[in-house]
Copies of this chain bind each other. A is one copy, B any other.
């Protein structure tokens, strides 16, 4: 039985499992541009610590008009990146995560709008994060990388906005961790946004979300290959690959739903069922293996830790006298979209957001995506999400 343990099998693919996150400034990434900020002063973080010069990777689609009034900022989720639209390319192992939303004639119509997406601080797809070189010694930050917050991500995006000459965004849009950034934009920079589109997100992380975040972090930290965060010097396959794969499997389960998995996999098996092997798999297990392996090829485990922590810390009300006082700063229309089968970002969170904004007199529209796909619906249900966003943006553009 023991010989069947999947961890003891050689990995099917010959490609190295070190994350492509071992990206360094200057390495090619198709379509990606880079800007460096804070070369002469530190980028002070909300928590303890600061970063030296920070590099922000971003992509743009469409053209900025003369008055810089047609710019839309799109904010990515936990394992996303600046590549919100477009195909696979050098250094870019995944297609655009909102490709159906951004482009000519699409809901975020690049014939009309200038769309920008930047990789967040702490991530691993071009923007400064734990795998980036520390300015003092050029070695990866590793365990030296500080905890960053959603507010730090937004402040880095604000620097990029200045750099691009955009004083106010027509809209800021995103789902999940992206939606957290959207809401912080409305609170931190109320005069730099004209509307907000917050999808499958929350005003503050719930204990359930924090708990899921914790078990994902521990899955990585309990992998001896994590080496307390300093694994970049290890050879291929010696980092916390197994831990990151486990964290992703856990996440994938709460990104989906009972119904979507039941519909797709039923009780189909990979290995013959009659062997009754402890490590024989049902198809759903193979699916989780696949998603774990896929993420481990492209993502840095330390970024996974840091960004999950940033989400746990997300609380619009922190240091601002509570959620309502924070949301009172929002001055612009909000499109607030939940997914009915979302078990991670319970739709009640978006309903609570709606109630608070309505009480404050902020124009808010709550829309509900009907889906079997759970939280991942914001990356799948474009037939519903597209028209909701398109209608809202069109109204905002006219106002």
Q: Are A215 and B288 in contact (CB under 8 A)?
A: yes
A48 CB to closest chain B CB (Å) equals: 6
A37 CB to closest chain B CB (Å) equals: 21
Q: Are A211 and B1 in contact (CB under 8 A)?
A: no
A201 CB to closest chain B CB (Å) equals: 15
Q: Which of A27-35, A62-70, A276-284, A363-371 forms part of the interface with chain B?
A: A276-284
Q: Are A284 and B222 in contact (CB under 8 A)?
A: no
Determine whether A2 belongs to the interface, using a CB cutoff of 8 Å to chain B: yes
Interface residue from B47, B49, B252, B276 paired with A146 (Cβ < 8 Å): B276
Q: Are B278 and A215 in contact (CB under 8 A)?
A: no
Interface residue from B149, B258, B259 paired with A276 (Cβ < 8 Å): B149
Q: Are A210 and B243 in contact (CB under 8 A)?
A: no
Smallest Cβ-Cβ distance to A285: which chain B residue? B214
Residues from chain B with Cβ under 8 Å of A346 in the complex: 258
Interface residue from B5, B208, B214 paired with A228 (Cβ < 8 Å): B5
Determine whether A300 belongs to the interface, using a CB cutoff of 8 Å to chain B: no
Determine whether A250 belongs to the interface, using a CB cutoff of 8 Å to chain B: yes
What would 9 A/B residue contacts be, using CB atoms closer than 8 Å?
A: A46-B276, A207-B261, A207-B265, A207-B266, A208-B284, A211-B284, A215-B246, A219-B222, A278-B305
Interchain residue pairs A-B with the least CB separation, the first 10: A47-B276, A207-B284, A207-B261, A207-B265, A147-B276, A258-B346, A208-B258, A2-B143, A214-B285, A211-B253
